[in-house]
């Protein structure tokens, strides 16, 4: 699982880096990289059940993390638009998105460790 997290994180960062440095050179490649990196979302959802044994704990973890994720996903596009309007370009936006990719990869590496949330709660 760790390799998958690293690959998806590298694709995300690479796609944004490509858009930053050479947006018109191979836009299909950047789009492909960013599209494949989107598999991190179902991977994160799957980790909820993979890291829990008790259905009650699964529901509690799901009820805690999913609303936070959906709020971030809802605010994200608006925040990107605001930052773009404030600075008048895409450089800062892409750098911030790359930062979120680093955070996503770091969180994924924590989730990919062996063990169960149930054991951590006891």
42-69 tens-digit pLDDT: 999 999 999 999 999 999 999 999 999 9
**Nearest C-alpha neighbor of 59 from the set 1, 117, 103:** 117
**pLDDT tens profile 4-43:** 999 999 999 999 999 999 999 999 999 999 999 999 999 9
The secondary structure element, H or E, covering residue 83 is helix 55-87
How many of the other CB atoms lie within 10 Å of CB of 14? 17
Q: Which residue has the tokens 């960013």?
A: 34
The pair of structure tokens assigned to 29 is: 């490649």
Q: Using an 8 Å Cβ cutoff, are 19 and 28 in contact?
A: no
Provide the pLDDT for residue 79. 96
Q: Using an 8 Å Cβ cutoff, are 94 and 19 in contact?
A: yes
Provide the pLDDT for residue 1. 84
Give CA–CA dist 61/51, Å, rounded: 10
**Long-range contacts of 30-35, Cβ-Cβ distance < 8 Å, separation of 24 or more:** none
Handedness of CA 99, 103, 104, 108 (dihedral sign): positive
The pair of structure tokens assigned to 100 is: 């979120």
């Amino acid at each position: 699982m760790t390799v998958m997290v690293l690959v998806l994180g590298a694709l995300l960062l690479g796609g944004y880096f490509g858009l930053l440095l050479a947006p018109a050179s191979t836009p299909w490649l950047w789009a492909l990289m960013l599209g494949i990196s989107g598999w991190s979302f179902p991977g994160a959802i799957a980790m909820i059940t993979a890291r829990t044994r008790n259905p009650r704990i699964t529901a509690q973890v799901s009820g805690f993390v999913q609303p936070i994720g959906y709020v971030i996903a809802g605010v994200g596009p608006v925040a990107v638009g605001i930052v773009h309007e404030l600075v008048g370009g895409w450089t800062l936006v892409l750098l911030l998105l790359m930062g979120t990719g680093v955070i996503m990869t770091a969180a994924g590496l924590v989730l990919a460790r062996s063990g169960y949330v149930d054991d951590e709660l006891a």
